[in-house]
């Protein structure tokens, strides 16, 4: 592949205004990982890049590279995800998904699986019912952290291999499940029921479109599992704060 002239799909993760009418964009691409694009004149009212350069927008991009930035030669908007803006919960979760990728992926780092997960996730989030957002969020998080290389151990005790699911805890340091015997002497662990463990395993392997097949009797289970997985992401990535997730959690209170 010619590194100076490439065509790829990309999703705008974040944008910073530069000078009067331009932007510096962080973009997750299908083929190049996370890159930075200098969108010259994108803030001009008649600019062809006006919508393409907006956060959430997914586009087909023809790029050229010069020094530290890529520049857009041609673009074709695929999906601006305008539907997310109609629901405050959806826009907060959508922004969190972008922030998650932006903060955990270095420039030039990325995987096609992560791009596809984000692309599919935003499309799905745009059309689901608001009552299903939290279930989707946990499912997305557990898939994302797994693709990033930190898949939690959910089928047995991560220390001794025990499968006594009636006496299991989740511990970040162990990277997943730890049994009642092995948890002794550790701190910051959370008790999990057999049902909790089954739900997490289903979320890890179930496609978004099939999430309705996962039956959860009580919303308190969702709040508990979301707290566990979000905390595990922060522990694994060493990123203590995700602003948009924090805002969403305040909305839920």
Q: Largest Cα–Cα distance of the chain, in whole Å?
A: 66
223 or 252, higher pLDDT: 223
Confidence label for 77 from pLDDT (cuts 50, 70 and 90):
very high
Percentage of the chain lying above the pLDDT 90 cut: 88
Q: Which helix (H) or strand (E) holds 220?
A: helix 219-237
Domains of the chain: residue spans and CATH: 5-80 (2.40.50.140), 83-252 (1.20.1440.120)
The arithmetic mean of pLDDT across residues 40-45, rounded, is 93
3-state secondary structure of 39: strand
What's the CA gap between 96 and 113, in Å, rounded?
A: 18
How many CB atoms within 10 Å of residue 10?
Answer: 28
What's the CA gap between 132 and 195, in Å, rounded?
A: 19
What's the CA gap between 129 and 114, in Å, rounded?
A: 24
User: 11-39, pLDDT tens digit by residue?
Assistant: 999 999 999 999 999 999 999 999 999 99
Percentage of the chain lying above the pLDDT 70 cut: 98
User: 102-125, pLDDT tens digit by residue?
Assistant: 999 999 887 899 999 999 999 999
Quick one: pLDDT at residue 3? 59
pTM: 0.94
Going by C-alpha positions, the residue among 102, 98, 96, 112 that lies closest to residue 29 is 112
2, pLDDT greater than 60: no
* DSSP structural state of residue 187: -
User: 162-195, pLDDT tens digit by residue?
Assistant: 999 999 999 999 999 999 999 988 788 999 999 9
What's the CA gap between 231 and 227, in Å, rounded?
A: 6
Quick one: pLDDT at residue 1? 45
Q: Which residues have C-beta within 8 Å of that of residue 216, sequence separation ≥ 6?
A: 135, 199, 222
9, pLDDT greater than 50: yes
């Amino acid at each position: 592949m010619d590194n100076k002239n490439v065509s790829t799909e990309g999703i705008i993760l974040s944008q910073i205004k530069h000078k009067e009418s331009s932007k510096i964009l962080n973009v997750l691409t299908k083929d190049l990982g996370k890159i930075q694009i200098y969108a010259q004149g994108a803030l001009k009212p008649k600019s062809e890049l006006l919508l393409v350069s907006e956060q959430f927008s997914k586009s087909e991009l023809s790029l050229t590279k010069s020094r530290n930035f890529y520049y857009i030669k041609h673009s074709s908007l695929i999906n601006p995800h305008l539907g997310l803006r109609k629901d405050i919960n959806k826009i907060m979760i959508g922004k969190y998904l972008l922030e998650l990728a932006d903060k955990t992926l270095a420039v030039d780092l990325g995987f096609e699986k992560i791009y596809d997960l984000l692309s599919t996730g935003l499309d799905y989030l745009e059309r689901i019912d608001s009552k299903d957002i939290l279930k989707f969020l946990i499912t997305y998080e557990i898939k994302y952290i797994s693709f990033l290389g930190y898949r939690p151990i959910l089928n047995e005790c991560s220390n001794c291999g025990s499968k006594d699911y009636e006496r299991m805890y989740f511990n970040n340091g162990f990277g997943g499940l730890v049994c009642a015997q092995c948890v002794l002497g550790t701190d910051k662990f959370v008790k999990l029921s057999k049902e909790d463990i089954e739900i997490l395993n289903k979320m890890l392997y179930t496609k978004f479109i099939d999430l309705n097949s996962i039956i959860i009797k009580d919303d308190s289970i969702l709040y508990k599992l979301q707290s566990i997985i979000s905390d595990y992401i922060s522990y694994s990535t060493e990123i203590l704060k995700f602003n948009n997730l924090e805002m969403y959690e305040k909305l839920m209170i």
